[in-house]
C-alpha cells in the first residue's frame, strides 16, 4: 500500500491510497514516458456509478502533478484539440459521458480514437479513456494500443471501490487482448483471470460540481451537433472530422494515408478540410500504420504531384 498526499478541492489535504501492484505499474509508466519516445494508453471501464472517473482522476494526479479538470474532455472534437496542445508528461482524459449508448456516437468516438492514436505516437504523454465497456471500443485499441484496463465493479449500486487489472505481463501473456477476444460477444469479464485485483478510495480529487457541469455541457454540445448532422447527410461528419484531419495534415500525414486508415475517399477528405485534391506529398518509404512499431522514414523528400480523377470520388 502506498499513500500519496493530495490537497482536495475542499482545501483539506488527504492521502490518496494506491495498491502496491498498481503503484509499481504507474512508476514503470512514468519512467517510460520520461526516458523513452512513447506514450501510454490507460482504459477505465465499468457501469455508471462504480467509480471509474474517480480512479482515473486519482491515477491522473499520480502520473501528472499538474493534472486538473482542464485536462478532461467530453466530446471527440475537444479531446483531439486537447491532444494537439498536450506537452510531455501530460495526462489527457476522454470521459465518454454516456455518449457510447448512442450508436452514431459510438462510431464517431471510435474514429476519434484511431486519429488520436496517430497523434500521440511520440508525444510522451498519458492518455486515458473512461468508457462504460471496453467491448464498445474499436478492437485495435484493446488488441494493439491499450496498455492497461482497469475494470471497476461492485456487487450492488452502492458497492464501489474495487477494480480488476488486465495487461500484458512479463511472461508474454496479454490478458487485455484475451479479455477482448473472449468476452466481446457477451460483454463478459469472466475470462481470463485478471492480472490482479485492487481497491481505491472514494476521494474525488477534482471539483465534482464543476466536473458535472462540464460533463453535462459536453453532452449537450455533442447532442446538438448530432442532431444537425442527422438532418443533412452531406455534413454528417464535417465538424468533428474537419479539425481532426487538418491537425493530422499539419503533423505531416497525407490525404492518401488518412483516406486508407479512416475508410473514406481522398476527395472526401479534400471536401471536409477545404484543401485541394491536387497536392504535393513527400515520398514515403513505408506505409505508415499508427499501431505498428519500428517504422521510420529516412529517405530524402521527393515532391510528387497526384491528381485524383472522378472515378476516385466515390466513398
pTM comes to 0.69
Angstrom CA distances, 99 to 56, 95, 226, stand at 18, 9, 11
Torsion angles phi and psi, residue 88, rounded to 5 = -55, 130
Query: pLDDT tens per residue, the chain (315 residues)?
Result: 677 777 777 777 878 889 999 999 999 999 999 999 999 999 999 988 899 999 999 999 999 999 999 999 998 888 889 999 999 999 999 998 555 555 556 677 778 888 888 888 789 999 999 998 999 888 888 888 999 999 999 988 778 899 999 999 988 899 999 999 999 999 999 999 999 999 999 999 999 999 999 988 887 887 776 544 444 444 555 666 677 778 788 888 888 888 888 777 777 777 777 766 634 344 333 434 444 444 443 444 444 444 444 444 433
**Domains in the chain with CATH codes:** 2-224 (3.40.50.300), 252-312 (no CATH)
Q: Are 192 and 175 in contact (CB under 8 A)?
A: yes
Amino acid at each position: 500500500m502506498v499513500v500519496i498526499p493530495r490537497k482536495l478541492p475542499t482545501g483539506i489535504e488527504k492521502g490518496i491510497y494506491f495498491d502496491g501492484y498498481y503503484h509499481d505499474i504507474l512508476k514503470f509508466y512514468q519512467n517510460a514516458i520520461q526516458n523513452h519516445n512513447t506514450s501510454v494508453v490507460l482504459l477505465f471501464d465499468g457501469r455508471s456509478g462504480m467509480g471509474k472517473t474517480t480512479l482515473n482522476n486519482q491515477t491522473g494526479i499520480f502520473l501528472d502533478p499538474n493534472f486538473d479538470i482542464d485536462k478532461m474532455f467530453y466530446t471527440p472534437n475537444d479531446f483531439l484539440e486537447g491532444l494537439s496542445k498536450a506537452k510531455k508528461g501530460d495526462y489527457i482524459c476522454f470521459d465518454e459521458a454516456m455518449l457510447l449508448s448512442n450508436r452514431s456516437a459510438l462510431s464517431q468516438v471510435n474514429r476519434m480514437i484511431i486519429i488520436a492514436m496517430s497523434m500521440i505516437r511520440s508525444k510522451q504523454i498519458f492518455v486515458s479513456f473512461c468508457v462504460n465497456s471496453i467491448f464498445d471500443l474499436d478492437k485495435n485499441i484493446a488488441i494493439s494500443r491499450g496498455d492497461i484496463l482497469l475494470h471497476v465493479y461492485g456487487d450492488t449500486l452502492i458497492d464501489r471501490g474495487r477494480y480488476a487489472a488486465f495487461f500484458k505481463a512479463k511472461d508474454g501473456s496479454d490478458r487485455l487482448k484475451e479479455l477482448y477476444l473472449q468476452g466481446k460477444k457477451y460483454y463478459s469479464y469472466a475470462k481470463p483471470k485478471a492480472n490482479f485485483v485492487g481497491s481505491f478510495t472514494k476521494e474525488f480529487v477534482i471539483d465534482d460540481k464543476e466536473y458535472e457541469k462540464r460533463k453535462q455541457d459536453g453532452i449537450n454540445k455533442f447532442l446538438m451537433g448530432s442532431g444537425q448532422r442527422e438532418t443533412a447527410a452531406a455534413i454528417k461528419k464535417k465538424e468533428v472530422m474537419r479539425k481532426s484531419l487538418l491537425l493530422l495534415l499539419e503533423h505531416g500525414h497525407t490525404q492518401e494515408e488518412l483516406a486508407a486508415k479512416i475508410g473514406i475517399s481522398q476527395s472526401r477528405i479534400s471536401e471536409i478540410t477545404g484543401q485541394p485534391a491536387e497536392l504535393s506529398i513527400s515520398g514515403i518509404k513505408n506505409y505508415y500504420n499508427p499501431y505498428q512499431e519500428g517504422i521510420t522514414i529516412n529517405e530524402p523528400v521527393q515532391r510528387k504531384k497526384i491528381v485524383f480523377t472522378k472515378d476516385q470520388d466515390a466513398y
